[in-house]
Amino acid sequence: MLYSLPQLPYATDSLAPIISKETIEYHYGKHEKTYIDNLNNLIKGTPYEEMTLEDIIRKATGSLFNNAAQAWNHIFYFFSFSPDGGGFPKGELLEAITTHFGSFEVLKKQFVKAGTTLFGSGWVWLSSDNDGKLIISQGSNASNPLTEGLTPLLTFDVWEHAYYLDYQNRRADALNALWDIIDWDIIESRY
Ligand code: MN
């Protein structure tokens, strides 16, 4: 199948000032649209057209991997937020966080540190393995934990295009602010 840009479940100005309308219009409306267009051009008329996007990410390399993973990663990222977000995870996810990190505050600190210390462009991820163990990882460029057999739960985009319009060079400020718009019901549903 060919892909199109899904409509976001919130208004483009509703996450401001944490993510501005301008950033959503460029980052989702233009950057993500380009990854999806490139993905479609690369799979058209090939066996990849019959695969799920997740299978393409697991099997492809080079330009196809980069565009497929970026297409998936941005949808996963932008569909983690809500203007009514913030607060804390609950239930089994909170229990796992407490078991593996000690507390939610420790998870936040380690996650932001992993994002701020990632050199260059990439993504910071919280994933779970088959035993439900939680793992924070850094990935360069288009990387995605699906390729390591993990289940992604949460990601922050640390490419400069994700934060430069709103925070300029202050990546840590951008990453610390995002917690106030995370929709934990969605993150919990992925665990
Ligand atoms: Mn991005």
- CA 91 to ligand 1 centroid distance, Å: 30
Q: Where in the chain is the domain with CATH 1.10.287.990?
A: 21-78
- CA 73 to ligand 1 centroid distance, Å: 8
- Residues 18, 143: Cα–Cα separation, whole Å: 24
Find the mean pLDDT for residues 165-180. Answer: 97
- Residues 43, 96: Cα–Cα separation, whole Å: 38
CATH homologous superfamily for the domain 91-190: Iron/manganese superoxide dismutase, C-terminal domain (3.55.40.20)
- CA 122 to ligand 1 centroid distance, Å: 8
- CA 95 to ligand 1 centroid distance, Å: 30
Query: Percentage of the chain with pLDDT > 90?
Result: 99
Find the mean pLDDT for residues 135-149. Answer: 97
Does the domain formed by 21-78 have CATH 3.30.720.110?
no
- CA 142 to ligand 1 centroid distance, Å: 9
- CA 37 to ligand 1 centroid distance, Å: 15
Measure the CA dihedral 118/54/130/190, to 10°.
80
Residue 1 has pLDDT above 90, yes or no: no
- CA 162 to ligand 1 centroid distance, Å: 5
pTM for the full predicted model: 0.97
At 1, the amino acid letter reads: M
- Average of per-residue pLDDT values in the chain: 97
